[in-house]
Chain A
């Protein structure tokens, strides 16, 4: 018996506590009932963490220019390269590009090395792509990057406004907490503001499908409404804020008339009124916002327009209220706390403020502290492209997939003199371009802390030994630092020592000036660090500060007041035109994470949406001559790709949605980043992922198909492909333009079947139809289905057969039909990932009389774990249209 280890989930910003337990060689993960973030709940991704821990595909050995080397050689190569370039071109010629996946301790060391010792602030992070606009808005409004709301506040609110957040899919556990709160208090109102009709709208009392990019107009309208309807908290505004008059003037000028606002935002006036009224009437309002707000060329203004409404009404600093930026990554907040962004210094201190620089310089004993902000992500890769930055160290992220205008980012790395990548995955689109590859420890192997969206610091604990040569990121950075000659300051032996230094720095010369204060956690010994319970900062006197932040009305601008920021609506940087008439929006899907290097390994996560797609309104599809399920080319001025067309019903006219997860590692041509425009918010540097002018055109192929194989499939002969992990097999969706003259020979070569192999085939060459199944001793090895149209037999039954050691004769007879002898044996496309419940079984249960999600849960378990499929279950019940 091994002990279950308490640790923290490595996915989204909810930061759920989990128990990880090794049993019989596999890791079982369950929710930690005592963790304040999730109270025992887990989402489909978290519940499948155990499936992602295999060592296949792991980077286990340092490599220099493709050769396996020992750590010394690799570290020397990195240090030599950086030293040489710094000596020749100065510290601004090197950069770190790190990640919200790093632990706080890793982040701290990387930041310290770059800003305190190399002497440049060229360290930025993929969090830049995620919530840097919220950071900038917080700083403008509060004088410090502070999230003043907790998950408990969300549950205690009377009105929850979800802006640009598909909470149901992207923060499923928080969504479940909202659903539960609503069940306890039916009077709780929920408003979703999103151009898409996302699954989150399932619980919305009101969905405002605003025109993409018009958030500032909507919230200026709100500000004006509140001011003109007597909702201003006059004492609060007078005593604790400044800038209200200018902000109100801007609001009145740009959004003074509700009818005009409704027209500009593409909304019904009545709905907009209702939202404004609800907001005005209720004291406890939480406005939860996410990437839909942040990822914009005016993301900072959008976030401030939201914060303005809370400041005007004084709805901040008390239970159940406040503006709540929710982060996408497990440790984006930790990164912000250590200062791991190019325009920060450390511990919420500002790089531009000399007194802050002095504090940090003295504390670190830093020889060459950076004097000015460094390059932000997009800018950093531009500088690499221009060869101004000549060495870059990328840690735990995949920018060739995730950056906007990603083809240019790839090009930049190709032109770069020295590319160092530390990662736990061997083959990503980014590691392919690295000169030096450093194997990093992965989740479950590394120790440290993370901070979630509501400021809870939790421990990530190791429960597996690091495989091969893998090492914690902090160790790698320290080793390079020492080889660069910085012995002093990087002689750490454990994460606990680093955390201690981090905590002490936060307390240095603080005295309440900065909210971020871990004074109470300074001086933890190894044992106390090991047993550290989740704790919410600020922590003074060993205890979290009980009162909500800002309860006293004191903010962190020098004058102690919060700022209402006058904001004016701005159009997205690139406008639609005849050539690119549609708005491309990007985001996450329920069961995948970032570029899928981890979540893509879990078979049950791969089956909900197994291939890249673009979602559009069915009427748009019709007018562009595109059939649902066919392949389409999506083109923007910056790139193009080919994906499957969906018409889910979630999209408004004129807009497109594509998931961000696919890369060259799992699809032929689906890197959405390559399409996204390079515009960034001038204040935050955050890219405009949510608004790129695009067009969609048919991608004509001669045939569509799919293959399920135990072995690898050579991909050269396909015009398009996407791959998903099935556990005992891989699932390929494929399409081709070239029609083989001899399907049989082509397929045998493809699936590597010998001439005397047990091979069943069906061939109708005139109809471009071919099907084959390769068996070995009555076990299915691979199958291939080709047809002239996207409509092909169901994959689920065939996929299930890969789990069988021997096929029954009846199953064998039906193989080429793709349908089981017993029609109920096909569970259909996966809906509930947690319990593996498919569409066919759910439909059958609905036909048998299940009329609500609860009944389905009782009968099939579907939706009873993480609940993120409940919106889909409801939709299925609705669409079945059964009379009650």
Chain B
């Protein structure tokens, strides 16, 4: 390890504000950029095009993070982390640069391969999508900056929980769900403990203890414990044959008893309950959904779209009891039925509960971390303990908790940057969308489709083609979208919602999609 030297490059005023120059320093081309807050230095080599051009790119910022756009293919590279925003697999080296008495100095050694005297330790609790996504970001941003240990409570390799419904339906195999193999862990030098839930966190001594008795110290701790099913508090909930719908073992439990022709009851007609019901019906079971709300998926859909979903599922033989309360789950040693308030009884050899989830914060709370509904984090995903970060469904950010996958991507990106000590970007919350994963039904929902005095509804219906689209506007901006039958434009609407774009000028075309024949100017 040669000690990096500071090299004098030029006077600050030799560089025009908001532009770059290239310097050859110890045989390396270094691109120097003068931006408002000073000087940044990254490698001049554009890894996408293979050309030494970055110094000539246009400087700007992305959500506060200074970036340069490659003059060739226009990818943006962060001047702070060196990462390519559009294609995260690419990154360029970052150099330390400083201004001293109006002169620019650069240290010739890239920051990211800086030698550390002692590798710091990161412990990750949880190996779900949020945890693994953050790790992916981290290892690409700062490979081997940490010695990482991951604890997973389930005995399986990390898998994509989102695909549990297709698995239950038989549309996917369990192998297809796996996201990270043992080889991946080995390749990145990450230690993983499967089937070994962490039981306690010792924040004073900065170490965690797992069920197996393993104790691992940490410099940084990432909590990604996800959420737990919220179970209806009714008698009989503990009977064998009553299953939640949360993880692989639940699916295995269901499949163990799912027999064609046998009656099943799904308690809860939300997104997950509908997916479970459709999947079990596809397995041949006679499914009835018991739902407390007036209509199915009332958190995601409007009345009309919900009716379309229901009609479609009724066509597949699924029965529905709406505005119905479960009184008790009955069975002698094993579930045999569900009794509803009012006395009706539904026979069942399998009962699936899908009545929502709550953040899994027991461990954090026991460790004395500040929690409300979830673990409280700031815009950098840091908890009240500066050494501890948290991501995913277990966190509560700006008073919101999330039960879907999209926010995890944003959280993981920000959190990983801070763990890599390259944090600039902040997490400002997510607007969520939902897509029902039932084969043959295209449903998409995003934002908030509830009505209100200042809310304006745009609706398109083509019942024969099975299409229904509903946008809710407020103040000239899209607040919510529900699509049934044709979800081709869902990404476009989601972008418009997330960007908060004023859509007044294209209002008449909005529901007819982003296709050029509609939005194109007429000659």
> B459 touching A814 by the CB < 8 A rule?
no
> B460 touching A762 by the CB < 8 A rule?
yes
| Total chain A interface residues with beta-carbon distance under 8 A | 24
> A843 touching B508 by the CB < 8 A rule?
no
| Total chain B interface residues with beta-carbon distance under 8 A | 21
Question: At the interface, yes or no: A758 with Cβ under 8 Å from chain B?
Answer: yes
Q: Mark A750-789, 1 if CB is under 8 A from B, else 0.
A: 0000000011111111110100000100000000000100
Q: Nearest-CB distance from B476 to chain A (Å)? A: 11
Question: At the interface, yes or no: A573 with Cβ under 8 Å from chain B?
Answer: no
> B459 touching A763 by the CB < 8 A rule?
yes
Please report which residues of chain A, range 821-863, place their CB below 8 angstroms from some CB of chain B when the two chains form the complex. Answer: 821, 823, 840, 843-844, 847
Please report which residues of chain B, range 436-477, place their CB below 8 angstroms from some CB of chain A when the two chains form the complex. Answer: 456-465, 473
Cβ–Cβ < 8 Å partners of A763 in chain B:
457-461
Q: Mark B481-523, 1 if CB is under 8 A from A, else 0.
A: 0000000000000000000000000011101100001101011
CA of A843 to CA of B522, assembled, Å:
12
> B462 touching A760 by the CB < 8 A rule?
yes
> B517 touching A821 by the CB < 8 A rule?
yes
Which of A760, A821, A840 has its CB near the most chain B CB atoms (within 10 A)?
A: A760
Cβ–Cβ < 8 Å partners of B473 in chain A:
766
CA of A763 to CA of B459, assembled, Å:
5
Given A814-B517, A817-B518, A821-B517, verify A769-B508 contact (CB < 8 Å).
yes
> B463 touching A823 by the CB < 8 A rule?
no
CA of A812 to CA of B461, assembled, Å:
13
Cβ–Cβ < 8 Å partners of A775 in chain B:
464
Cβ–Cβ < 8 Å partners of B458 in chain A:
762-764, 767
Given A758-B464, A823-B517, verify A765-B457 contact (CB < 8 Å).
yes
Question: At the interface, yes or no: A819 with Cβ under 8 Å from chain B?
Answer: yes
Question: At the interface, yes or no: A265 with Cβ under 8 Å from chain B?
Answer: no
CA of A847 to CA of B523, assembled, Å:
10
Residue among B461, B507, B520, B522 making CB contact with A761, cutoff 8 Å: B461
Cβ–Cβ < 8 Å partners of A769 in chain B:
508
> B517 touching A766 by the CB < 8 A rule?
no
Question: At the interface, yes or no: A816 with Cβ under 8 Å from chain B?
Answer: yes
Residue among B464, B512, B520, B522 making CB contact with A816, cutoff 8 Å: B512
Cβ–Cβ < 8 Å partners of A821 in chain B:
517
CA of A769 to CA of B510, assembled, Å:
13
> B456 touching A819 by the CB < 8 A rule?
no
Which of A758, A759, A763, A769 has its CB near the most chain B CB atoms (within 10 A)?
A: A763
> A760 touching B461 by the CB < 8 A rule?
yes
> A819 touching B460 by the CB < 8 A rule?
no
> A764 touching B456 by the CB < 8 A rule?
yes
CA of A844 to CA of B456, assembled, Å:
39
Please report which residues of chain A, range 733-764, place their CB below 8 angstroms from some CB of chain B when the two chains form the complex. Answer: 758-764
Cβ–Cβ < 8 Å partners of B508 in chain A:
764, 767, 769, 787
> B518 touching A843 by the CB < 8 A rule?
no
Residue among B457, B465, B517 making CB contact with A819, cutoff 8 Å: B517
> A766 touching B457 by the CB < 8 A rule?
yes
Cβ–Cβ < 8 Å partners of A840 in chain B:
523
Question: B473 — nearest CB in chain A belongs to which residue?
Answer: A766
CA of A150 to CA of B91, assembled, Å:
90
Please report which residues of chain B, range 105-159, place their CB below 8 angstroms from some CB of chain A when the two chains form the complex. Answer: none
Which of B463, B465, B508, B518 has its CB near the most chain A CB atoms (within 10 A)?
A: B508
Question: B469 — nearest CB in chain A belongs to which residue?
Answer: A762
Cβ–Cβ < 8 Å partners of A787 in chain B:
508
> B460 touching A812 by the CB < 8 A rule?
no
Q: Nearest-CB distance from A668 to chain B (Å)? A: 26
Q: Nearest-CB distance from B164 to chain A (Å)? A: 34
Residue among A762, A817, A823, A843 making CB contact with B459, cutoff 8 Å: A762
> B523 touching A843 by the CB < 8 A rule?
yes
> B507 touching A767 by the CB < 8 A rule?
yes
Cβ–Cβ < 8 Å partners of A759 in chain B:
461, 463
Q: Nearest-CB distance from B75 to chain A (Å)? A: 34
Question: B471 — nearest CB in chain A belongs to which residue?
Answer: A764
> A812 touching B465 by the CB < 8 A rule?
yes
CA of A510 to CA of B461, assembled, Å:
79
Q: Nearest-CB distance from B110 to chain A (Å)? A: 53
Cβ–Cβ < 8 Å partners of B517 in chain A:
814, 817, 819, 821, 823
CA of A2 to CA of B400, assembled, Å:
85
CA of A759 to CA of B458, assembled, Å:
17
Question: A758 — nearest CB in chain B belongs to which residue?
Answer: B464
CA of A767 to CA of B471, assembled, Å:
13
CA of A763 to CA of B304, assembled, Å:
14
Which of B462, B465, B507, B522 has its CB near the most chain A CB atoms (within 10 A)?
A: B462
CA of A762 to CA of B458, assembled, Å:
7
CA of A812 to CA of B462, assembled, Å:
10
> A817 touching B462 by the CB < 8 A rule?
no
Cβ–Cβ < 8 Å partners of B462 in chain A:
760
Please report which residues of chain B, range 60-115, place their CB below 8 angstroms from some CB of chain A when the two chains form the complex. Answer: none
Q: Nearest-CB distance from A146 to chain B (Å)? A: 54
Q: Mark A434-475, 1 if CB is under 8 A from B, else 0.
A: 000000000000000000000000000000000000000000
Question: B459 — nearest CB in chain A belongs to which residue?
Answer: A763
Q: Nearest-CB distance from B467 to chain A (Å)? A: 9
Cβ–Cβ < 8 Å partners of B464 in chain A:
758, 760, 775
CA of A762 to CA of B457, assembled, Å:
11
Question: B467 — nearest CB in chain A belongs to which residue?
Answer: A760
Question: A844 — nearest CB in chain B belongs to which residue?
Answer: B523
CA of A758 to CA of B520, assembled, Å:
29
CA of A812 to CA of B467, assembled, Å:
12
> B512 touching A817 by the CB < 8 A rule?
yes
CA of A761 to CA of B508, assembled, Å:
13
Q: Nearest-CB distance from B520 to chain A (Å)? A: 7
Q: Nearest-CB distance from B440 to chain A (Å)? A: 19
Cβ–Cβ < 8 Å partners of A817 in chain B:
509, 512, 517-518
Cβ–Cβ < 8 Å partners of B456 in chain A:
764-767
CA of A765 to CA of B520, assembled, Å:
24
Q: Nearest-CB distance from A25 to chain B (Å)? A: 36
Cβ–Cβ < 8 Å partners of A765 in chain B:
456-457
> B457 touching A816 by the CB < 8 A rule?
no
CA of A766 to CA of B465, assembled, Å:
26
CA of A766 to CA of B511, assembled, Å:
15
CA of A765 to CA of B522, assembled, Å:
26
Cβ–Cβ < 8 Å partners of B518 in chain A:
817, 819
Please report which residues of chain B, range 240-291, place their CB below 8 angstroms from some CB of chain A when the two chains form the complex. Answer: none
Cβ–Cβ < 8 Å partners of B465 in chain A:
812
CA of A765 to CA of B458, assembled, Å:
7
Q: Nearest-CB distance from B457 to chain A (Å)? A: 7
Given A767-B507, A769-B508, A814-B517, verify A761-B460 contact (CB < 8 Å).
yes
CA of A758 to CA of B507, assembled, Å:
25
Q: Nearest-CB distance from A516 to chain B (Å)? A: 57
Q: Mark B202-242, 1 if CB is under 8 A from A, else 0.
A: 00000000000000000000000000000000000000000
Cβ–Cβ < 8 Å partners of B507 in chain A:
764, 767
Q: Nearest-CB distance from B36 to chain A (Å)? A: 42
Question: B522 — nearest CB in chain A belongs to which residue?
Answer: A823
Cβ–Cβ < 8 Å partners of B511 in chain A:
762, 764
Q: Nearest-CB distance from A828 to chain B (Å)? A: 10
CA of A759 to CA of B462, assembled, Å:
7
Residue among B457, B460, B509, B520 making CB contact with A823, cutoff 8 Å: B520
Which of A764, A766, A775, A787 has its CB near the most chain B CB atoms (within 10 A)?
A: A764
CA of A812 to CA of B517, assembled, Å:
14
22 A-B pairs within 8 Å (CB atoms) are namely: A758-B463, A759-B463, A760-B464, A762-B460, A763-B457, A763-B461, A764-B456, A764-B507, A764-B508, A764-B511, A766-B473, A767-B508, A787-B508, A814-B512, A816-B512, A817-B509, A817-B512, A817-B518, A819-B517, A821-B517, A823-B520, A844-B523
- 19 more contacts with CB within 8 A, not counting A767-B456, A847-B523, are A759-B461, A760-B462, A761-B459, A762-B459, A763-B457, A763-B458, A763-B461, A764-B457, A764-B458, A766-B473, A767-B458, A775-B464, A814-B512, A814-B517, A817-B509, A819-B518, A823-B522, A840-B523, A844-B523
| Among all A-B residue pairs, the 4 with the closest Cβ atoms | A766-B456, A764-B458, A760-B462, A763-B459
